[in-house]
Structure 1
């Protein structure tokens, strides 16, 4: 399959090069009527476009990708200086594939300092009084103040990286505390996951799980389950806590068990299966990266290796054969969903789906790891 993956990567890089001139200084988010909706660096997803450019440069050493990656990353720095739209947990999504990616590829004290500034911005979301990283809204907001979400697992590598760069254990301690909180409250006894969970703002006591983008509060939103697979595996890389590895494996078993026959997830594992049910190719692209991460960790004799390897291969084959966009499309991976429940891009291409699709392909060819840790 390696040759097939390389051919697909070459095709995706050709499309990405065309997108450089299409997008200019704006950032793609999700598609509408077959074209990306662009924004002037105001969305939580903008780091993924920088990440695609850095991955493309890392693979090809093409200077066109390098120049575009530097330009978009400079724009991300400007946003950090303006503090525009950064009252969110998504700082890791914004700055790990952009500023931290540049630091990993190029080094340099100035670039690393910008990454540390981003980590400090994320630390402002930490509610020490109740021990959570608040997901959305102003701190102590009456409706959002006690809320965490499973997506935030993928923002913790920024804090782990900052701890490694500085020797300051506070970054790692806060990240580890969040991972543990997610393990205890976002993961359920049957190894499925809540999208979000609420805590009492006065005393930090748990209230209960809910959803924002899933089918219903008790259902399993598949992208959230994919964040759990990948996020807990990455946490294990930094903490070496066997509970984090086991949680990733348990989330993986649940994900695999509930996949349809083509091995690409629907948008929610509990949504009614009918002719109108939407897939979420981005969930399977994220999960593919998590599966590969697990295969890099697990010993050859581990009983889960065979099933993970098989589903990873079958899932990637379906994404390649049935979910790639046509040549003239701006996106790389079709049939992703942002939020079916809210009718936001329910069946479109998404910039995070594009990013993780490319990362998964690079993992399977040149053993790259994206930018969630330095190998």
Structure 2
């Protein structure tokens, strides 16, 4: 009997030691990420702008609040604060969140979810301070001015020759509208988000749940008149980050509505993505590039996908958690995660911004880092 108790105590002690060792290893990893991003933050400190990427000549590309990526720096610092507990990151998060304040009045862009919710949304979630909430609600008011009851969509762009262009990226901006309805009790924001999600689901996806990047609508009939790409390889190809936006978007739509069709869509999109990933689980920039495997990877698409899969697994099964883990393991390897002091302080290497425009190809991107950190937090909190 005494021997049995002794064995049990040893087993418990061993398990406790392993758990403590694993916790220390994770904390050390977060500290390394913090050290790397400290380099970026210090070298790009600016009263109004944030670092988006690196220019071809090796300089930082800084952007102001009107750029669609302006909210990711503040959001990344909020995640670092949560992962490390370092109050310095809270201070930096607040500073960089406030840089996007003026975006709340913009009615010329559909990207207010990226610009405001990724910064102010994390600020409010973390602190509970109403001053952040109020900015999100004002931004939601601005965003819904772009909704058209005929097309039942939020317009994406105001340039080029399209009648009423809607891109798959726009699914990511719906989360802010769901938030606004919950906080105000006014269903108008949620109603618009649902209409947009439904119309996108009806027109953006092919039978195999690969996605068009852009659908153009007739403003008189509300019918889809063109289905094409702007950042993918071809109109009939599957742009990797677009697939990730769709997966993330319909997963959050299910969370907010519990409508089964959104979960079904998310599962089918996830299965399409997973069936097309290479062995290391990091997607090529477009799944239909004939140059595969001799073409570019997109770490930003991988980070968005991993973050979405962690959430999707909560509503389905462990299959998607396992896949998220595999993606994060690869992104955290030396191939994709920059060594401290390299990559100008950005975390992830090998992302692709806009390949057809020859822009930000095989560069670090602030939104790749943001969704990587979000995925790590979701992994930790799972």
- TM above 0.5, yes or no, is yes
**Cα deviation, residue 32, structure 1:** 2.6
Instruction: Give, in whole Å, the separation in 1 of the partners of 2:23 and 2:314.
Output: 17
1:64 match: secondary structure: helix
Matched with 2:227 is 209
**Cα deviation, residue 129, structure 1:** 3.3
Match of 1:171 among 185, 189, 192: 189
TM-score, normalised on structure 1? 0.90
Matched with 1:36 is 60
Report 1 or 2 for greater relative contact order, CA contacts < 8 Å, sequence distance ≥ 6. 1
Q: 1:4 to 1:272 in 2, by over 3 A?
A: farther
Matched with 2:198 is 180
The count of aligned residue pairs is 355
Matched with 1:371 is none
Instruction: Give, in whole Å, the separation in 1 of the partners of 2:182 and 2:303.
Output: 28
Instruction: Give, in whole Å, the separation in 2 of the partners of 1:142 and 1:333.
Output: 32
Deviations 1:249-276, CA, capped at 9 Å, x for gaps: 0000000001111110000000113464
The answer (yes or no) to whether the contact 1:5–1:361 under 8 Å persists in 2 is no
The answer to whether 1:228 aligns with 2:246 is: yes
Give 5+ residue unaligned stretches, structure 1.
Answer: 368-375
Larger radius of gyration: 2
Q: 1:201 to 1:259 in 2, by over 3 A?
A: same
The answer to whether 1:53 aligns with 2:69 is: no
The answer (yes or no) to whether the contact 1:6–1:365 under 8 Å persists in 2 is no
Matched with 1:80 is 104
Matched with 1:320 is 332
Deviations 1:159-186, CA, capped at 9 Å, x for gaps: 0000000010010000001111111111
The answer (yes or no) to whether the contact 1:195–1:211 under 8 Å persists in 2 is yes
TM-score, normalised on structure 2? 0.88
Instruction: Give, in whole Å, the separation in 2 of the partners of 1:274 and 1:14.
Output: 35
Instruction: Give, in whole Å, the separation in 1 of the partners of 2:219 and 2:102.
Output: 33
| Alignment RMSD | 1.8
Instruction: Give, in whole Å, the separation in 1 of the partners of 2:222 and 2:23.
Output: 49
**Cα deviation, residue 4, structure 1:** 5.5
Give 5+ residue unaligned stretches, structure 2.
Answer: 1-21
Instruction: Give, in whole Å, the separation in 1 of the partners of 2:44 and 2:103.
Output: 18
Match of 1:309 among 321, 332, 344: 321
2:99 match: secondary structure: helix
1:338 match: secondary structure: strand
